[in-house]
Amino acid sequence: MKYLLLFLSLAAMECNPGGSQTSLQHPSSLPVSDSLERYIVYDQALIALNRVDVIDGTGAPAKPNQTILLRDGRIEAIGPAAETGIPAGYTILDLLGKTAIPGLVSVHNHLHIPRFPDIGEVASKLHLACGVTTIMTCGAAAPYRELEVARAIADGELAGPDIHPSAPYITGPGGNPNMIIPRNEQHLRDTMQHWIDQGVRWFKIYRHTRPEDLRIIAEVAHANDAKVTGHLCSITFAEAADLGIDGIEHGLNSVSDFREGKTHGHCNGNHSAIFETDMDGEEVQALHEHLIERGVTLTSTLSIYETSIPGRPGADEHSRQAMSPYLIGQYEDRMADYAERGPDSARIERLHRIMQFEYLFAQRGGLVASGVDPGRHNMPGYGDQRNFELFREAGFTAEEAIRIMTRNGAVVLERDDIGTLEAGKRADLVILDGSLKRDSSVIRRVEYVFKGGLCFDPRRIIPETDGQVGIQ
């Protein structure tokens, strides 16, 4: 193996003597424009990440002191430092005491927040700087703009994650008038076809969608290699699974299966049932098994829910730095209000129940992925980092939490080139300054972010995002 690597590296050096700066000779398959160069600290074709602790995204136990070889934007080899020789020609980064994880793959990462339909550019920078290398937007407020941002990133003009764009939200009678409300079957089919033709492969249904519309939405999506997820209410989780939905957002928070007085196809009934249902009981177990049998995935969005709970931690320093003066004003008003109300034990209890619902779903073999669902003081990227701490609080191990946030997202997106640190995968990985296994807050200490083998320095990206979330 060592000899083969040596041979390959010599061959590569001949092709790329001196590692020139022109974009044609970048190691990655990803294009890079001049405007992206300023964020990149390493762009060599051959890079060795030496003596680093690894949580590889497969769920395997954390491994100390590993060496990861990167070649041409892919992971070439990974193994114990003592056994993994570094052939000549590699740029070596000594990362003793640091942790490598796969780039985060987050699947509920809007490029909008309430009142601000387009935060695409700043959100993209924050995602990348925080270690999120792939997102699905899970409902578009400015869909053409979203497609443009996705293209700009794919063409190497803008710093950001790979973006899987989504169509505008679809809802039903009585729902939000800013969303698509199908007038009839042809209108629904034509509208979906329009977005499929634009390149969209994700449809998100919202709380008032009619069951008969979901059946058509799933049929059209699946005939076009697209997927459907939902923030549900009118349709129960069990019904949605039977109607062909692929994913459900927010876990327990959008469940209507246990409501008293709910009528078929309507978003009504008594929401407090969520407090009375035994999470460890047979009813929830039967629902979990039904979803698992139908292959329905759950997207966890704990960090946004936490921001609505008096008595829980508020925005960290980094999040506040990214917020516009307008958002800061809102945040301070909200925090003053929360302080006045005191800890909200009902909501705190609900957060724990949401966590338990997701934990049990995963233990039973269900696939949990995660997303930031930005809003309030839950910022793109930083909220994803917070999710890791909340998964730990929910009872997941560090390895399980990372798997949810990396490999599971890749499974949802059907991306077999990313999501774990294994030979052959694209070199999307995050270097954290410390031991993530020992200290969950290390998820916030991002040293470097590799995307397609290009090494981005967050310190060069973050200053451009200061005060930029929530401006017109």
Nearest Cα neighbor of 146 from 104, 108, 110, 188 is 110
The nearest distance, CB 389 to Zn ion, in angstroms, is 20
Report, in Å, the least distance between residue 204 CB and Zn ion: 8
Closer by beta carbon to Zn ion, 26 or else 208:
208
In terms of CB distance, is 241 or 372 closer to Zn ion?
Answer: 372
Output the smallest distance, CB 138 to Zn ion, in A: 6
CB of 242 to Zn ion, least distance (A): 24
Least gap, CB of 348 to Zn ion (angstroms): 22
Tell me whether residue 254 or residue 324 sits nearer to Zn ion (CB atom). Answer: 254
Closest separation in Å from C-beta 108 to Zn ion: 6
Sort 211 into a burial class: Cβ within 10 Å, 0-12 / 13-18 / 19+: middle
Binding-residue pattern over the window 56 to 85 for Zn ion, x denoting contact by CB under 5 A: ------------------------------
Q: What is the nearest approach in angstroms of Zn ion to the Cβ of residue 250?
A: 8
- DSSP class of residue 183 equals S
Closer to Zn ion by Cβ: residue 28 or 378? 378
For residue 373, the minimal CB distance to Zn ion (Å) is: 4
| CB of residue 215 to Zn ion, shortest distance in Å | 23
Distant-in-sequence contacts of 395-403, Cβ < 8 A, 24+ apart: 395/355, 395/359, 396/359, 396/362, 398/55, 398/62, 398/436, 398/437, 398/440, 399/55, 399/59, 399/60, 399/61, 399/62, 400/59, 400/362, 402/55, 402/57, 402/101, 402/102, 402/436, 403/57, 403/58, 403/59
Subset of 313-342 contacting Zn ion (CB under 5 A) = none
Q: Which residue's CB is nearer to Zn ion, number 43 or number 373?
A: 373
| Distances from the Cα of 74 to the Cα of 153, 205, 315, 423, angstroms | 19, 36, 35, 8
Minimum distance, C-beta of residue 161 to Zn ion, in the bound complex (Å)? 17
Residue 53 sits in the site that holds Zn ion (CB under 5 A)? no
Measured distance CA(318)–CA(446) in Å, rounded? 12
Instruction: Identify which of residues 118 and 373 has a Cβ nearer to Zn ion in the complex.
Output: 373
Q: What is d(CA 44, CA 52) in angstroms, rounded to the nearest whole number?
A: 19
Q: Which residues have a Cβ under 8 Å from the Cβ of 352 and sit 6 or more positions away?
A: none
* Cβ partners under 8 Å of residue 418, min gap 6: 102, 103, 105, 133, 134, 162, 410, 425, 426, 428
Q: Which residue is nearest to Zn ion (CB)?
A: 373
Site size toward Zn ion (CB under 5 A) is: 1
Q: Which is nearer to Zn ion, 373 or 400 (CB)?
A: 373
Q: What is the chain's length? A: 472
Between residues 202 and 450, which has the closer beta carbon with respect to Zn ion? Answer: 202
The nearer residue to Zn ion, 138 or 442, going by C-beta atoms, is 138
Q: Which is nearer to Zn ion, 306 or 373 (CB)?
A: 373
> What span, in angstroms and rounded, lies between the C-alpha atoms of 382 and 390?
13
Nearer to Zn ion, 141 or 427 (CB): 141
* Phi and psi at residue 399, to the nearest 5°: -65, -40
Angle (CA) 390 438 303, round 5° = 15
> What is the C-alpha R_g of the chain?
22
Residue of 128, 179, 119 lying closest to 156 (CA atoms): 128
Exposed, middle or buried, 443 (CB in 10 Å: 0-12/13-18/19+)? buried
The torsion angles phi and psi of 246, rounded to 5 degrees, stand at -95, -35
**What is the x/- site pattern for Zn ion, positions 361-390, by CB under 5 A?**
------------x-----------------
> Nearer to Zn ion by C-beta: 373 or 384?
373
In terms of Cα–Cα distance, which of 297, 339, 286, 241 is closest to 107?
Answer: 297
Shortest CB 296 distance to Zn ion, Å: 18
> CB 110 → Zn ion: shortest distance, Å?
6
**Whole-angstrom distance, CA of residue 159 vs CA of residue 438:** 31
Residue with tokens 């080139």: 417
Name the residue with tokens 């959008």. Answer: 254
Three-state secondary structure call for residue 50: strand
The dihedral through the CA atoms of 107, 109, 111, 113 has a sign that is positive
Distance CA(68)–CA(86), nearest Å, equals 9
Which residues bind to Zn ion, rule: CB under 5 A? 373
